[in-house]
Amino acid sequence: MVTRFVLNESTNRYRLHGEATADEILSQVRRMVVDHLTRRSKPITSPTDAASYLADYLDGSEYEVFAALFLDNRHCVIALRTLFRGSIDACSVYPRKIVKEALKCNAAAVIFAHNHPL
């Protein structure tokens, strides 16, 4: 059965439709976090802003990831993407793919993020 969360915009609450495993729910929640973060209108003006913005997204991952936060010319978020996923202690990064994604998003600036899982 296809499971999804549906946002009721008038109440700003989500409703789960269907049955789901814990992994499916976590996957949906990650998508919801990204959607929520990309709708934010406040520009990122400092490293502290960027760190607080990315902390929830990267927290709790069991493997290394390399993510990019694509910004417009006012440093507001266009998109947040996990570009590469590695193992528990390594993650390969390919500049060509990063440039391709930045051009696709029409980004004026990019902030990179990388975690080290426990």
> Exposed/middle/buried for 15, CB within 10 Å: 0-12, 13-18, 19+?
exposed
Q: CA quadruple 92, 112, 47, 117: dihedral positive or negative?
A: negative
Name beta bridge partners: 66. Answer: 84, 114
1-23 confidence digits (pLDDT tens):
455 677 777 777 777 777 778 77
Note the pLDDT of residue 15.
Answer: 75
Name beta bridge partners: 71. Answer: 77, 109
Note the pLDDT of residue 1.
Answer: 47
Determine the 3-state secondary structure of 28 from DSSP: helix
Cα gap 78→7, rounded to integer Å: 20
Give me the residues of the chain with pLDDT under 70, please. 1-4, 34-41
37-47 confidence digits (pLDDT tens):
666 557 888 99
CA atoms within 13 A on the CB side of 52: 8
Two tokens, residue 65: 């990831």
Two tokens, residue 45: 């003006």
